[in-house]
């Protein structure tokens, strides 16, 4: 089972669709990542169960 998974998200600042790589071996995670398009910080949060994304959100970290 591959526990690294790509997840499409929309930047809350510029509205661009970006792809984030999630590590699903961690059951719950929140971290700040800069948008690769506009460089503004986003708070990425997700929960995973059985190698699948259960909940996922991206919001402004400003």
Residue 25 or residue 2, greater confidence: 25
Measure the CA–CA gap between 2 and 12, rounded to whole angstroms: 28
**The whole model's pTM is what?**
0.90
pLDDT digits (tens, 9 = 90+) for 28-39: 999 999 999 999
* Proportion of the chain above pLDDT 70, given as a percent: 98
Q: Output the pLDDT for position 6.
A: 96
Residue 24 CA to its chain's centroid (Å) = 11
Q: What is the distance between the alpha carbons of residues 3 and 48, in angstroms, rounded to a whole number?
A: 10
DSSP structure class, residue 16 = -
Q: What is the pLDDT of residues 12-32, one digit of tens each?
A: 999 999 999 999 999 999 999
């Amino acid at each position: 089972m591959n526990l690294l998974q790509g997840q499409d998200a929309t930047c809350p600042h510029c509205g661009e669709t970006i792809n984030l790589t999630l590590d699903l071996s961690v059951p719950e995670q929140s971290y700040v990542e800069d948008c690769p398009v506009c460089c503004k910080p986003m708070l990425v949060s997700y929960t995973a169960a059985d190698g699948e994304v259960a909940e996922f959100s991206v919001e402004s970290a400003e």
